[in-house]
Structure 1
């Protein structure tokens, strides 16, 4: 259940304001008696909600009386104040993150290759996006077919957004597709996402008969390899991520051979 404390008031401030709304003009003693705010705290609490423009005091009366600001106006003020606090907090976190980016160096490349594996049909797109975001110099990607169950439009738009970011960082992107992929996505050649990417000189896409898998090479050292379900080959099964310059070089050489034999995707 929502409460005024959710908008930044303390427990006593919330109780005092509610008591004012219910009671109408009232003295501090009367409010203390009708709320759970102790008499020893009531003046500080009333002063606090008055400073927040949630209540007004009638100084001419003796003893002084307090009256609540209209709840709609009070809630608008609380919400605006809370939004300012959250914006300031978000800015603070962003500043901390920027400072840490300067302090935290990238980990050194391992002397020997290492790999990780993630199982699940939903990880392929996520890992591909991460690979794109990790790239500093180059992305060489091969795609054979669209796994069953993937929302093609949503996936292509999301991937395109991250590729644009990479291209803006001057990352070279080469995309090699199979004829089967173009059959899975009949409008791929005229896809607005592809048209957007083709505006960048550091992007190129081709289609070739030699493509029979799904793999992405990042900066010549990292290889993201998609595996299909051995029982249901049309389904995505797992992603293996290998960081091994020697292995990546071998995969890149195979990519280059396929690239040379491929044709530009005609828009």
Structure 2
């Protein structure tokens, strides 16, 4: 059950405000009795809820009297206070992340093979986006037909956002897609491509009919390979992420001829 305490009030503050709604204009002494807030605490409590702008006081009267602000107004004020606190917290966390990003060094170049895997559409997408975020120099994306298990509208937007972030970090991006995949992408992706990315020298998208698999080459040392479902070739089963410079070089060599023969994209 919802409570005023959920919006930041203490138990005594909530009691005092609720009691004021019932008593109307009243003194601190009368409010202490009505709310069961000890007399030794009532003035601190009233000062506190005054700071929340939940009560108004009549200072000209002796003794001083207090009246509750209407509930709708009071709740709006408490909500705005909470929103402001959350925004301040978010700003603090962003500053912490910025500081830690500078402090924490990424792992050095991979000198031995290491692989990991994700199984299932959600885990596959998470792994892909994670590896795009990790790129330092170059991203090559090769994408065949869309998987029916994957919401291409969401993935297309998320991938594009991660590619934009990578470009801002100085990472070059080449994307080779099948025409069927281009046709499946939402119009918002095409619009974003035309408005923000098409003119960039470090971002290039081409299409080809000779695209039979889906994989990504990260910084020429890492390859993320989408694994099709062996029981249904049109579905994605998972993704293997393999860090191996020699293997990445071999995949890159296979990619280059297809890239050179591909057609520049026009949405």
Query: Quick one: distance in 2 between partners of 1:49 and 1:34?
Result: 16
How far residue 148 of structure 1 moved from its aligned partner, in angstroms, is 1.6
Distance in 2 (CA, whole Å) between partners of 1:250 and 1:262 is 19
Corresponding position of 1:57 = 57
Work out the CA distance in 1 between the residues paired with 2:16 and 2:124.
Answer: 54
Unaligned regions of 5+ residues in structure 2, if any?
Answer: none
Kindly indicate whether the alpha-carbon contact (under 8 Å) linking 1:167 and 1:200 is maintained by their aligned counterparts in 2.
no
Inter-partner Cα distance in structure 1 for 2:88 and 2:266: 49
Q: 1:111 to 1:93 in 2, by over 3 A?
A: same
* Matched-pair contact (CA < 8 Å) for 1:133–1:166: yes
1:201/1:66 CA distance change after superposition, 3 Å: same
In structure 1, list runs of 5 or more residues that go unmatched.
none
Q: What secondary structure does 2:216 align onto?
A: strand
Match of 2:169 in 1: 169
Q: Match of 2:46?
A: 46
State the alpha-carbon separation in 1 of the partners of residues 64 and 192 from structure 2: 68
Q: How far does residue 209 in structure 1 lie from its aligned partner after superposition?
A: 4.8
TM-score, normalised with respect to structure 1 = 0.87
Match of 1:147 in 2: 147
Kindly state the Cα deviation for residue 43 of structure 1 after the two structures are TM-superposed.
Answer: 1.9
Q: CA deviation at 1:239?
A: 0.7
Query: Which whole-Å CA distance do the structure 2 matches of 1:51 and 1:265 have between them?
Result: 59
> 2 CA distance for matches of 1:193 and 1:66?
56
Report the alpha carbon displacement of residue 76 of structure 1 after superposing the two structures with TM.
Answer: 2.9
Q: Distance in 1 between matches of 2:219 and 2:259?
A: 17
Q: CA RMSD in A?
A: 2.4
Contact 1:226-1:236 within 8 A present in 2 as well: yes
Task: Indicate how the Cα distance of structure 1 residues 262 and 80 shifts in structure 2: closer, same or farther if over 3 A, else same.
Answer: closer
Count of residue pairs the alignment pairs up: 263
Answer whether contact 1:156 1:193 (CA < 8 A) is retained.
no
Change (3 A) 1:246 1:46: same
* SS of alignment partner, residue 241 of structure 1: strand
- Asked whether the 8 Å contact 1:215–1:226 carries over to 2, the reply is yes
